[in-house]
Copies of this chain bind each other. A is one copy, B any other.
Amino acid sequence: MRADTALPPVVILCRPQIGENAGSAARAMLNFGLTELRLVAPEFGWPNAKAVAAASGASAVMNAVRIARDLPAALDDIHHLYALTARRRELLKPVLAPGEAAARAVELAGQGRRVGFLFGAERTGLTNDEAALADALVTIPTNPAFSSLNLAQSVLVMAYEWGVRRWTSKTSPPLPKPASKAEVQGLIDHLLAELDAIDFFRATDRRVSLSLMIAQMIERRAMTPAEVDLMRGIIRDLAGGRRARRDQA
């Protein structure tokens, strides 16, 4: 079974307190192809107008939301559970990064397993008893000096990591073919000939060093600040001739 035919993971919000967050979570989920949202004993009513507004049209998720009276009821068909938790806990569980958990989830889903991502209440997070039901904990690495991801943002990160593995195709458009060496050399020769014609280099030793710089710049295709200055000097001198001509006209 391939990941794209397997059932995607379920998102479970445990005792969520703010309706809007359930809607934002639904929107975040659907962006990455997650469609099953379960709410365990929500503190708000359902259906919920603020949730619908925040879902921004993610009706495929919103219409299928399942309300469960407690966490075990929400987990009835789940084989593998990953619990998102910001705090370091005393539980003897592996702690994974979101990307690691998503990689395992994709693999397990490909084997026909049902995977759940579990998120705690906005203010208090998961209790130890709730997190104990998980196979592993997942911690989003954040700035130790400022950790304030909200519930929907945490769902977004987890859904994104799933989506990266679900939607990333190796179909980056082909980059244009670079010029051949002969074409590039032709450009360099052309430019040097024109520059010689207006005596841009003024002295033989300047020509040696500057023509090497020009050739390298064009050949290597990455410009340093000095190279930009040089290019501008070239244009100025070339255009200076044009300007002088216009003044004479």
B172 touches A95 (CB 8 A): yes
How many angstroms between the C-alpha atoms of A223 and B172 in the bound complex?
A: 19
Chain B residues, Cβ within 8 Å of A179: 223-225, 227-228
Total contacting residues, chain A, CB less than 8 A: 74
On A, residues with C-beta under 8 Å from B are 27-28, 30-33, 56-58, 60, 88, 92, 94-95, 97-99, 140-144, 146-149, 153, 156-157, 160, 163-164, 166-169, 172-173, 175-180, 183-184, 186-187, 190-191, 194, 197-198, 218, 221-225, 227-228, 231-232, 235, 238-246, 248
* A245 interface neighbour in B218, B224, B227, B241, Cβ under 8 Å: B241
Copies of the chain in the assembly: 2
B153 touches A167 (CB 8 A): no
A167 touches B141 (CB 8 A): yes
Q: Which residue of B lies closest to A240 (CB)?
A: B242
How many angstroms between the C-alpha atoms of A197 and B142 in the bound complex?
A: 53
B198 touches A242 (CB 8 A): yes
How many angstroms between the C-alpha atoms of A82 and B131 in the bound complex?
A: 38
Contacts A28-B153, A31-B149 given; does A186 touch B228 at CB 8 Å: yes
Chain B residues, Cβ within 8 Å of A92: 175-176
A178 touches B242 (CB 8 A): no
B178 touches A223 (CB 8 A): yes
How many angstroms between the C-alpha atoms of A248 and B246 in the bound complex?
A: 11
Could you tell me the distance in whole angstroms from the C-beta of A214 to the nearest C-beta in chain B?
A: 12
B184 touches A223 (CB 8 A): yes
Chain B residues, Cβ within 8 Å of A221: 221-223
Chain B residues, Cβ within 8 Å of A157: 156-157, 160
How many angstroms between the C-alpha atoms of A190 and B231 in the bound complex?
A: 10
Q: Which residue of B lies closest to A229 (CB)?
A: B183
How many angstroms between the C-alpha atoms of A97 and B166 in the bound complex?
A: 13
Q: Which residue of B lies closest to A96 (CB)?
A: B172
